[in-house]
């Protein structure tokens, strides 16, 4: 009873009653960290990225509910949200939003001096689209594209925090493009559940704008996201392989080579193997996410078919 009356609204405000949507933001951050030339990252950096990502994600949810608190009352999927049903006030939500943004700023300010300024600049660039995104459904036909842009910073900021620059070449570009396409795809699938309510209230979504071609477009963007990530991973892995090949020592000379050089070569080979295993794990996580999206699509198709059957006049 105590949880239901006091803690449950706060948990729902941050969407931690449905944590999968918050945790998947960490997947692109993981891609970015493990595709950098300096991979694997330190555990300290990983923990800071996790804390910052969860704080920003929570802030985005609150901004969304503040924008949509009147709309959510008329949407079946969202009418139980705390601001929509009045279990929390606007003032309380704004206070939590500010606290989360302060935590996010604290994470950036605690990064090493060599990377702090770049990460702070990227965080400042990310803030406007994060706060404006919830309004995009009122004025932009593809609001899911705005969300994708927000999620793109989940690639850029971890990369900058690990390397101190954005000179990532194909690995960084491929990871960023894959994240944009992947985010647009899964959020378009989620938007399909709200199509009747959005159409009734004259709101935009990519699911509505794409009309009957939405399934084909989502299939193509999912495929392109996998291709972009595969290219990024292949180029990232090829870099250490080329270095190892260039520093390889012929058998007769190896015996006379300094022990330090041999140890460096062995360390490089071990790091390459670790990166390959980590990338395989990340790709598997993406496959599981896509399987969940496909199941959701199938459920939505069945629901739409049932609605169409119910709307047909009796003969």
Quote the pLDDT of residue 242. Answer: 45
Residues contacting 80, CB < 8 A, separation 6+ = 12
Cβ proximity of 60 and 133 under 8 Å: yes
Helix (H) or strand (E) holding 144: helix 143-163
Q: Which residues of the chain have pLDDT under 50?
A: 242-249, 251, 253-257, 261, 314-315
pLDDT at 79: 82
**Residue 289, pLDDT score:** 66
Q: What is the pLDDT of residues 18-36, one digit of tens each?
A: 887 778 888 999 999 999 9
Tell me the three state secondary structure of residue 77: coil
Whole-angstrom distance, CA of residue 203 vs CA of residue 198: 5
Contact at 8 Å (CB) between 195 and 304? no
Flag whether the pTM goes above 0.85: no
Backbone angles phi, psi at 249, to 5 degrees: -115, 130
- Give me the pLDDT at residue 245, please: 46
C-alpha 45/C-alpha 108 separation (Å) is 11
pLDDT score of 246: 43
The pLDDT of residue 187 is 92
What is the per-residue pLDDT for 292?
67
């Amino acid at each position: 009873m105590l949880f239901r009356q006091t803690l449950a609204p706060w948990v729902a405000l941050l969407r931690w009653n449905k944590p999968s949507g918050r945790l998947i933001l960490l997947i692109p951050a993981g891609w970015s960290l493990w595709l950098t030339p300096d991979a694997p990252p330190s555990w300290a950096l990983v923990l800071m990225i996790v804390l910052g990502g969860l704080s920003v994600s929570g802030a985005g949810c609150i901004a969304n509910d503040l924008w949509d608190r009147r709309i959510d009352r008329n949407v079946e999927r969202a009418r139980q949200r705390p601001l929509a049903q009045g279990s929390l006030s606007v003032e309380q939500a704004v206070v939590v939003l500010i606290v989360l943004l302060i935590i996010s700023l604290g994470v950036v300010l605690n990064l090493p001096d060599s990377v702090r300024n770049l990460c702070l600049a990227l965080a400042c660039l990310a803030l406007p689209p994060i706060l404006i995104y919830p309004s995009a459904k009122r004025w932009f036909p593809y609001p899911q594209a705005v969300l994708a842009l927000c999620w793109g910073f989940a690639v850029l900021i971890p990369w900058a925090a690990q390397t101190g620059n954005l000179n990532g070449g194909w690995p960084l570009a491929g990871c960023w493009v894959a994240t944009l396409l992947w985010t647009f795809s899964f959020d378009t699938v989620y938007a399909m559940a709200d199509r009747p309510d959005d159409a009734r209230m004259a709101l935009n979504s990519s699911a509505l704008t794409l009309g009957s071609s939405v399934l084909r477009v989502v299939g193509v963007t999912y495929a392109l996201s996998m291709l972009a990530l595969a290219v990024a991973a292949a180029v990232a892995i090829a870099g250490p392989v080329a270095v190892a090949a260039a520093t390889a020592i012929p058998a007769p000379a190896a015996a006379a080579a300094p022990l330090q050089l041999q140890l460096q070569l062995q360390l490089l080979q071990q790091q390459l193997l670790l990166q390959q295993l980590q990338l395989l794990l990340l790709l598997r996580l993406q496959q599981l996410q896509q399987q969940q999206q496909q199941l959701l699509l199938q459920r939505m198709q069945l629901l739409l078919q049932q609605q169409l059957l119910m709307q047909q006049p009796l003969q």
